[in-house]
Structure 1
Amino acid sequence: MHTVALVVFPQFQALSLSLGSVFECANLLLGDPAYAFRLVSEAGGAVMSSQGFSVNTEALDPAGYDTVIVSGYLEVGLPGQSLLECVLAASAQSWRVASLCTGVFVLAEAGVLAGKRATTHWLHAPAFKKRFPDIQLEEDRLFVVDGQVWTGAGMSAGVDMALAMVEHDLGTDLARRIARKLIIDQRRGGENSQLSALLELDPRSDRVQLTLAYARENLRSDLSVETLAEVARLSPRQFSRVFREETGQTPAKAIESLRVEAAKFMIETSRHPVEVVARETGFGDRERMRQAFLRAFGITPQSMRQAS
């Protein structure tokens, strides 16, 4: 059985606990306990979360676990030296070491990240780079895997990272079934950006949200104002006005952002020719996509692929 230990400490972020559901579902779907999930802390006993409730923990075992994950916490500060030493000792004996959000500061301070690539929540990236300038931080990644060390971004990324761990351990089919059981409509890989074009648009009404969801699922299709207005059940003129009021962008600009985001993901995670990427994301031809990339990122798709 694979033992997973989540290390918590006072004021840990409660959402860190959600990744445990992934391993729990793995056991349920397999009908056999593949994972043993443990909550651990430096001394064991009750530990207070950032939301004011306590959890019961076991004492952190310096002999290590199969996987040890350091949780995040709200304030960017560091636990005491004794906990850092315990984390370092356990990490040295564990098969896989991970952190979530600000937990990366603990791994870095303990010396676990020497010579490794890592990520953290974009909000804390400047503080991390200032404190640990010698560690290569990939601040726009959802999670980063470098050897046996895994580091994740914000709290929801913990579920994505845990799904990737299960996929690594037990295969893609099980990870997909877990995502379905947890009603996760889109599995995100480590290469995904922390910032989503849909999140940035942040529409208020159901009509505009539905239209954007339709657009994301149909990037190859005709996404003219007339088509989107029909999805929203508004006239083209009404739709354009409402869309701009809610998002601050024209429909055409928003659709380009969605297509650029999808194309960037394909460029970074596949070896498809640029022409195929342009076709699959709705740009139609490579020149239109090239111009959109220059507007969004200041570089061409070819340059982005060479740098990835």
Structure 2
Amino acid sequence: MHKVAVLVQDGVEPFGLGAMCEVWSEPYHPEDDNPVFEFVVATPRPGRVRGPSGYDLHVEHGLDAAADADLICVAPKRDYLAPSPEVAATVVAAHERGALVLAHCTGAFVLGEAGLLDGRRCTTHWRHVEEFSQRFPDALVDENVLYVQDGTIVTGAGSAAGLDASLHVMRQQFGARVAAAAARRMVVPPHRSGGQAQFIARAVPDCDAETLGPLLTWITENLAEDLSVEELARRSHMSPRTFARRFRAETGTTPHSWVISQRVQAAEEFLEQTDHPVDWIAGEVGFGNAAAMRHHFSRSRGVSPQQYRRTFTGEEAS
């Protein structure tokens, strides 16, 4: 992946655009050895692009500048029910030539208008899910996730989930180490599972126990240990039921799902950076055996450990 284009329209949300710029437009940092992309912001009519927050943008490039981009990002906009037909056509053309397409928050409405979400899993900001579902009844929209990839199309939920979706693409294309370096630069979590809830409906209730933050850190440093709900609850001095309820309240997901995601992420790094066999990696990250690791890794990443290693090293995972 060499060129990234972000498509903007009148009413473009500054945070949504900024999130994409923050991930994809960075110059080279020697300490991270990060990939650098040809990055362009494009709009149907170059020049002034109206903003909704008291200032406008000046965009030099028309949509033709996105014609050869490897990744097309659609920035969200305030008046999302009036997407540009030219932007929709550009997205369709990019999809047809095999480019990756990423939209988050209200940017997903452009993909819906383009017909690219019919029969596909997708998401958008939880505030707009009902309206989105009514407008695009053939789209398989999920309001309870941060981001979804279906084929070459990635959709993310609102605001900060655009960073999560972009880091997911970064991880997929360049590996966990590169994505983690980008996240460290932005001071955000290196990986939030796409299946994590978009928001937590209620504040965490008062409790004599401390926040689970220290426990989460301990888990990531001890993935090969027994990390069952019963054991984690014992460490937290709670009953399993109370622990599971509090864990979901603080993280938006279940203990089992969170642990699996951490183990998969650790396995990615071993596959990228070592030549250890899958059996050895499975033991180090807590899956126990190669069969269990293959099951969870394939379910989470859509490829086997062997395929993942070939992608980033050109070697087989034994």
Structure 2: stretches of 5+ with no match in the other structure: 219-228, 265-285, 287-298, 300-318
Q: Which amino acid aligns with 2:203?
A: L
CA offset at residue 64 of structure 1?
A: 4.0
Give TM-score scaled by structure 2 length.
0.65
Report 1:1-308 matches (<5 A).
Answer: 2-16=2-16, 17-25=18-26, 27-29=28-30, 31=33, 34-57=36-59, 58-61=61-64, 63-93=67-97, 95-185=99-189, 187-196=191-200, 200-201=202-203, 211=211, 213-214=213-214, 217=217, 220=232, 222-224=235-237, 254=246, 257-258=249-250, 261-263=253-255, 265-266=257-258
Structure showing greater radius of gyration is 1
CA offset at residue 216 of structure 1?
A: 5.4
CA offset at residue 40 of structure 1?
A: 1.0
**What is the percentage of aligned positions where both structures have the same residue?**
28
Q: 1:110-144: CA deviations, max 9, x gaps? A: 12223321111111100011111111112211111
Give TM-score scaled by structure 1 length.
0.67
- The RMSD of aligned alpha carbons is 3.6
Q: In the comparison of the two structures, how many residue pairs are matched?
A: 246
Q: Contact 1:117–1:135 (CA<8 Å) still a contact in 2?
A: yes
Q: Contact 2:209–2:237 (CA<8 Å) still a contact in 1?
A: no
Q: Measure, in 1, the Cα distance between the counterparts of 2:57 and 2:209.
A: 37
CA offset at residue 35 of structure 1?
A: 1.2
Q: Contact 1:84–1:110 (CA<8 Å) still a contact in 2?
A: yes
Q: Measure, in 1, the Cα distance between the counterparts of 2:184 and 2:263.
A: 28
> 174-183 vs 21-30, which deviates more?
21-30
CA offset at residue 210 of structure 1?
A: 6.9
CA offset at residue 41 of structure 1?
A: 0.8
Structure 1: stretches of 5+ with no match in the other structure: 226-249, 273-279, 281-304
Q: Measure, in 1, the Cα distance between the counterparts of 2:33 and 2:190.
A: 25
Q: Measure, in 1, the Cα distance between the counterparts of 2:56 and 2:208.
A: 40
CA offset at residue 82 of structure 1?
A: 3.6
Residue of structure 2 in register with 1:276 after alignment: none
Q: Which amino acid aligns with 2:255?
A: A
Q: Which amino acid aligns with 1:223?
A: S
Q: Contact 1:64–1:92 (CA<8 Å) still a contact in 2?
A: no
Q: Contact 1:191–1:269 (CA<8 Å) still a contact in 2?
A: no
Q: Contact 1:64–1:89 (CA<8 Å) still a contact in 2?
A: no
